[in-house]
């Protein structure tokens, strides 16, 4: 009949579900501002990267592939929040810049992200969060996908 799943058997499914729920919650809260996860995440990373970051660097920071970022940037550019500039030093690259119009949007993003975190972590200890994060990082390592942020430090290969 129905066989119960142990902790490890449940893990993958639960992980996928929580990731989807989290995304949906953010989408719901930021929808009135015309923002979805891919957009706000891109803006947030952009605001925290050094100026004149290239699309490739930004894609690594966000954790998506090039083509995915291209479409996200297309939208953000159409909305007037960012702009792409061709650099003289290497005309293949385009640096991505926040426009002034993005400032209030970023404020809203920061506030919303903080509110969601407050809701999500209210009953969890720092130790639990840290342990869970460590588990996630180790899993990422096993899956050949070292988080992009860490690979940026390496810079070789």
Partner DNA sequence: AATCAATAGATAGCTATGTATCAAATAGCG
Partner DNA sequence: CGCTATTTGATACATAGCTATCTATTGATT
* Three-state secondary-structure class, residue 141: helix
Q: Given the complex with DNA, which of 28 and 131 has the nearer CB atom?
A: 28
Quote the least distance from Cβ 120 to DNA, whole Å: 18
Nearest Cα to Cα of residue 77 among 90, 93, 65, 94: 94
The CA distance from 63 to 45, in Å, is: 10
Least distance from DNA to the Cβ atom of residue 69, Å: 7
Give whichever of 75 and 97 is closer to DNA, judged by the CB atom: 75
Q: Are 43 and 58 in contact (CB under 8 A)?
A: no
Residue 77 vs 120, nearer CB to DNA = 77
**Per CB under 7 A, does 66 bind DNA?**
yes
Q: Does 8 bind DNA (CB under 7 A)?
A: no
Edge-to-edge strand order for the sheet containing 82-86? 53-54, 94-98, 82-86
- Are 97 and 82 spatial neighbours (Cβ–Cβ below 8 Å)? yes
Q: Is 108 in the site for DNA (CB under 7 A)?
A: no
Interface residue list for DNA (CB under 7 A): 20, 24, 36-39, 54-56, 59, 63-68, 70-75, 84, 90-94
């Amino acid at each position: 009949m129905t066989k119960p799943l142990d902790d490890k058997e449940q893990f993958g499914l639960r992980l996928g579900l929580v990731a989807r729920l989290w995304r949906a919650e953010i989408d719901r809260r930021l929808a009135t501002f015309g923002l979805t996860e891919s957009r706000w995440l891109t803006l947030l990373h952009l605001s925290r990267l050094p100026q004149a970051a290239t699309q490739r660097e930004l894609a690594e920071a966000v954790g998506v592939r090039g083509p995915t970022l291209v479409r996200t940037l297309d939208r953000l550019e159409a909305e007037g929040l960012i702009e792409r500039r061709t650099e003289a030093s290497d005309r293949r690259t385009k640096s991505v810049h926040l426009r002034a119009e993005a400032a209030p949007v970023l404020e809203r993003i920061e506030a919303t992200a903080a509110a969601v975190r407050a809701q999500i972590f209210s009953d969890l200890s720092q130790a639990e969060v840290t342990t869970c994060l460590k588990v996630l990082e180790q899993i990422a390592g096993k899956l050949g996908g070292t988080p992009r942020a860490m690979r940026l430090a390496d810079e070789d290969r």
